[in-house]
Amino acid sequence: MARRRQAVTIKHVAADAGVSLQTVSRVINNEPNVRPAMQERVQASIDKLGYVPSIAAQRMSGSRSYLILAINDRERTIADWRNRQGSDWVDQMLLGGMLKCAEHGYRMIFELVDTHNDHVERELGAAIAALQPDGVILTPPHSENPLITGFLAKRKIPFARIGSVTSGPGIAMTMDDEGSARRATEHLIALGHGRIGFIAGPKEYDLSNWRIDGWREAMTSTGLSCDALCVRGDFGYDSGVLAANALLDLQDPPTAIIGSNDQMTLAALDAAKARGLHIPGDLSLISFDNTPVVRFTVPELTAVDQPIAATFSKAVELLITNGDALVPHQPVVIEGSLIERSSTAPPSAHGRA
């Protein structure tokens, strides 16, 4: 059996470069007061020996852990995974976060935490104690949970709150939900729609209300009525069916519907087809999220593309480079975009209303 190759350690690098362990450590950790010539000398030995610094070694060299912890809602995440319905929220989280962490020599750890108040502090406390992260990224609804934000603030752990605009500790960040909903509505108005229904998300997510605000702003600014045209769901498919049917059962039904996520919009698509409606001839549809599944529907869904990866990338960058030192006074806004596909068109000349 071949002998296992001995791992290259920081001691090998120090011996090859003819410097102390402390000097190698300072170069690895990009610390100040290292002469350029010395930095080049140590880096040359690192490259020659193929040395890759371990997180354990980095952690022992200073106060940083080189870990960023991203936290997502346990119940909803597990439900999405088990249903296998095409949500790529977690994928996009990791894409943006992990790549940005790698640029800075960090690692991203992903954890699920229960939203229930009697569990959250215990679960979060266990994760923090085990990992000792340099920063934490919170997603909705955790980003608006005072138990969580207060816990992190009390322990002086830098954190970013995605989907949050309230004042308080941490870096508030949004994906411009209100603006995205407004632009989606304006797109339909420009096509000639005057009756535009909105399937909103649950109240416990602030972003649900922001999207309603954007839709309502676009409607009222052009003199269009919003009466009875907004129905709430819970981001699940079944709630989308109920909401879509409620809108389509109106005496004066909408000629277009915006769904607050892909699952509810897919439900609206199926509900409309079950009634014999043609998309987009009889009903135009716009979705939020732009997960992969919307490109495989018939017709393909026009969708608001949520900049999840870009938002997580920015959160990581702010936590690593600023931490608590420079918390922006205003929420950091990462704008999404509207991807036009074949589920939107001018309303039928015959009209259903």
Please write the tens of the pLDDT for every residue from 89-118. Answer: 899 999 999 999 988 889 999 999 887 766
> Is the pLDDT confidence value at 3 over 60?
no
List helix spans (H) across 169-225. 177-191, 206-221
Q: CA 125 to CA 113: how far, in whole Å?
A: 10
Cβ(244)–Cβ(271) under 8 Å?
A: yes
- Reading phi first (left if > 0) and then psi (alpha if -120 to 50, else beta), residue 5 is in beta
Higher-scoring residue by pLDDT: 326, 194: 194
Q: Please report the pLDDT score of residue 327 as a whole number.
A: 67
Average pLDDT over the chain, rounded to whole?
88
> Is the pLDDT confidence value at 274 over 80?
yes
Q: CA 290 to CA 197: how far, in whole Å?
A: 19
Cβ(324)–Cβ(154) under 8 Å?
A: no
Q: Please report the pLDDT score of residue 229 as a whole number.
A: 98
pLDDT tens, 47-73?
Answer: 888 887 665 555 555 567 889 999 998
pLDDT tens, 186-242?
Answer: 999 999 999 999 999 999 888 999 999 999 999 999 999 999 999 999 999 999 999
Q: CA 325 to CA 230: how far, in whole Å?
A: 42
Mean pLDDT for the stretch of residues 270-293: 95
> Is the pLDDT confidence value at 324 over 70?
no
Q: Please report the pLDDT score of residue 1 as a whole number.
A: 42
Q: Please report the pLDDT score of residue 306 as a whole number.
A: 92
Sequential DSSP letters for 98-114: HHHHHHTT-EEEEEEE-
What's the burial of 29, exposed, middle or buried (CB within 10 Å: 0-12/13-18/19+)? Answer: middle
Higher-scoring residue by pLDDT: 17, 258: 258
From the list 193, 213, 189, the residue with the least C-alpha distance to 201 is: 213
Higher-scoring residue by pLDDT: 168, 268: 268
Q: Please report the pLDDT score of residue 194 as a whole number.
A: 96
Higher-scoring residue by pLDDT: 35, 224: 224
> Is the pLDDT confidence value at 4 over 50?
no
Higher-scoring residue by pLDDT: 257, 26: 257
Mean pLDDT for the stretch of residues 115-139: 85
Token pair listed for 162: 């995605």
Higher-scoring residue by pLDDT: 310, 88: 310
Sequence-distant (≥ 6) Cβ neighbours of residue 300 within 8 angstroms: 294, 341, 342, 343
